[in-house]
Structure 1
């Protein structure tokens, strides 16, 4: 059974795209069929996956705004996860979507048939809670929330939880929290305090693993590689490997 996971946080720079890329690569390494959908106009997941502009014929903008089918825009790669690439055109999609009927459910409708070919569909969202993110949350089974271990983390997390509850009330009642992932953790006192506070308030939803601040994690996307290929023995690779184990374990239990 396919699991659709939206990676969301209205705050930028929390490791959302890094998590999307490395989670996709990690799941693939464990023989899972994975599709990564890039809904961010910045297209960082697309470039970070090693996709060049020359390879892209159609993208997520074409799928949302035109009658373009998802399967015509997916880039299939024999030795890697599949990807529905993004485009800077998505920056204007918020306005164009307002003119469409059932505008918040377009992605859900478009991926309905195609998603069944995969074990996991991951959706990387822009750092804003607009119509693009709303489409993602409406299409998803669960939400994975990367949270940077910094002072205002709980405030942003509370706002996102309110949005998720609104989505559940108005069209996707089955939406759940896949997990809260603490990212860019350090050995500083403030970092430890923030992690502790999040675990205290969201004990059942917070992953056991945390993602450390690691220079290799920031370098890998610029080479179009996952952390496993770029620096497989780094602390970042070990952390994301543990995250993949947690997610597969959790979803295996749910399905059984």
Structure 2
């Protein structure tokens, strides 16, 4: 290696170029998956405590989705991949038992305009189960403090969707298994199904939709500022987050 090569590290250029190409390929794929491109709010988003985030989401079909990619895509990519395997596990369990113990990935309507794909429904236990695969930090936090309101609202909305199909729902659960840990330390959060919890989130969504219509934010986007925000540590993952907003459909996550 010459002195110039050593100073500029030219010899490492092919490796760095290929590495960047591979990472860009994963990002491009992740940003163009159907889930990433969809604009309709689903049950996983409806429980957000931030009214402005919900307002942005409710109008995304007409005004476009936010430009923030939510930081690094890897955890989301891993989560989607694991969910595909989770579905295969349920199918395997059904085949092994010779009966339908589980209903995997069913489309349910807790709200007519906001359907969602529910991870799992245990037929005999009459229980909705959603899989969560957080990193180690959040996994430990959920074990200590329990799931967020957003996660709880999500599974109760799924429960309402199943109830509307005529299937009994007695409990809703969230199964936490971290890819940074192991199956032994996975844990299930379980609580009785409550239509009231589902309705709290859905009624809040309808109220924000009415407020968006009243303010006519589609034609007057500056009026989004009249809808309050609820800053959290997750703001940087919001589709509309920007530390230095340069338009009415961006938010710094600060009052």
Normalising by the residue count of structure 1, what TM-score does the alignment of the two structures yield? 0.28
Larger radius of gyration: 2
Normalising by the residue count of structure 2, what TM-score does the alignment of the two structures yield? 0.28
